[in-house]
């Protein structure tokens, strides 16, 4: 695999060099992939578990798993790696040791393993890297949790089955998060266990101190109708701003809290909102007292803001991005809606919709109509929460599996 990586890299090296000189994002990505290394950690007396997750959604799950395993095994240490700055910042904000995973060269994988000195590697969802898997599996066991294979990943893996089938065979336990993914792992020759989606039964309670701080910063009152739109892409404002303006006509004490998927796109959100006739107050700039439209342009606020909501829209679903995780607001008992583009979350959308615990809306008018029915909102929130509570067994069983694998090692 090193040669497969190296040849295209050599061909593209002039472009990469120019990008590193003149494009800050390219330069930062190269620094993360090749020059950002953790220190050598001392061997942990009670054992150490290494969690690797791709980005923010997976990191939130990894953090909860790490805390749960630490509570089950006093003295156990955990360390995390990720691919993105936003996920790194999330873990750092919670005081967890976290580092970037370097590029998937064999040498880099060996060096990283030697520096972290773990007893177990836990991969979250679809983080399958050929060299990392090969190098690590020779030294310690690996477990894939909440395993998921999207349509795109499955097609790629099936085309290169000769490569990915042996890779999957190196993983000690593959715990699938849904039936479709379990079938797909099996079709690739893997031994797989279907435990259920961890995100369904693992909604984290928001930090009460942060919730209170945001309540004060926003000046929220108990009788206000708070519309929270989370994990948004800028292009979704074309639907949400007109919908919000219509909602305000039916709710005199209307507040809209917009949470971008990528906070560094704040300028795009501000510009597009202005073009649609709305001025945004930014949480990063301090007090938002009385502001009807607020952009939460800081990391780590989403769960707390969901907890303050009267009505939730989950983004990435009014544009063709496949949707984002709707489990969190549903698990908080909030009436939650998504748009029509939810391919990445097809199974939870189908399951929650069938239980009338999630609404899929096609346009702004449908969103507004639902917001004007208090009884429909109450039923939506209650039904969704009750449906998720039936899925809590997946979380308990996953912790048990990790404890089983770790048991003989420390």
Cite the active site residues: 58
Q: Pinpoint the alpha helices (H) of 170-259.
A: 179-187, 208-218, 237-250
Any idea what the Cα angle at residue 36 is, between residues 33 and 40, rounded to 5°?
125
What is the full DSSP assignment across 324-340?
---HHHHHTT--EEE-S
Give the Cβ contact number of residue 387 at 10 Å.
Answer: 21
Residue with tokens 């379990």: 182
Q: Give strand pairing partners of 260.
A: 232
Rounded to an integer, what distance in angstroms lies between the CA atom of residue 382 and that of residue 5? 50
Please give the order of strands across the beta sheet that includes 336-338.
281-282, 293-295, 254-260, 225-232, 311-314, 336-338, 359-360
Asked whether the beta carbons of 379 and 352 are under 8 A apart, the reply is no
Asked whether the beta carbons of 70 and 98 are under 8 A apart, the reply is no
């Amino acid at each position: 695999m090193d040669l497969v990586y190296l040849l295209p890299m050599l061909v593209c090296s002039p472009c990469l060099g120019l990008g590193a000189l003149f494009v800050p994002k390219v330069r930062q990505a190269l620094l993360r992939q090749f020059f950002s290394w953790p220190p050598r950690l001392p061997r942990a007396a009670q054992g150490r578990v290494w969690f690797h997750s791709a980005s923010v959604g997976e990191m939130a799950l990894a953090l909860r798993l790490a805390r749960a395993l630490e509570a089950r095994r006093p003295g156990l240490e955990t360390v995390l790696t990720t691919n993105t700055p936003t996920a790194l910042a999330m873990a750092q904000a919670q005081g967890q040791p976290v580092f970037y995973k370097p590029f998937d060269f064999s040498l880099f994988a060996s060096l990283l393993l030697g520096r972290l000195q773990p007893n177990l590697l836990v991969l979250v969802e679809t983080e399958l890297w050929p060299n990392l898997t090969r190098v690590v599996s020779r030294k310690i066991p690996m477990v894939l949790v909440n395993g998921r294979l999207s349509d795109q990943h499955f097609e790629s893996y099936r085309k290169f089955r000769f490569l990915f089938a042996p890779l999957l065979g190196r993983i000690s336990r593959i715990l699938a998060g849904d039936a479709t993914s379990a079938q797909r792992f099996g079709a690739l020759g893997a031994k797989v266990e279907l435990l259920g989606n961890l995100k369904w039964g693992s909604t984290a309670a928001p930090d009460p101190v942060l919730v209170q701080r945001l309540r004060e910063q926003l000046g929220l009152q108990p009788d206000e109708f708070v519309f929270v739109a989370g994990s948004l892409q800028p292009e979704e404002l074309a639907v949400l701003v007109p919908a919000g303006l219509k909602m305000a006509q039916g709710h005199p004490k209307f507040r809209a809290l917009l949470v971008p998927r990528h906070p560094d796109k704040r300028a795009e959100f501000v510009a597009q909102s202005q073009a649609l006739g709305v001025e945004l107050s930014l949480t990063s700039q301090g007090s938002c007292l009385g502001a009807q439209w607020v952009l939460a342009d800081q990391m780590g606020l989403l769960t707390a803001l969901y907890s303050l909501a009267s009505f939730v829209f989950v983004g990435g679903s009014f544009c063709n991005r496949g949707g984002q995780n709707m489990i969190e607001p549903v698990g908080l008992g909030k009436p939650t809606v998504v748009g029509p583009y939810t391919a990445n979350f097809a199974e939870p959308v189908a399951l929650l919709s069938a239980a009338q615990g999630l609404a899929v809306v096609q346009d702004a008018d449908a969103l507004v109509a639902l917001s004007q029915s208090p009884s429909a909102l109450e039923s939506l929130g209650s039904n969704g929460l009750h449906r998720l509570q039936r899925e809590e067994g997946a979380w308990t069983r996953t912790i048990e599996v990790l404890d089983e694998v770790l048991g003989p090692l420390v």
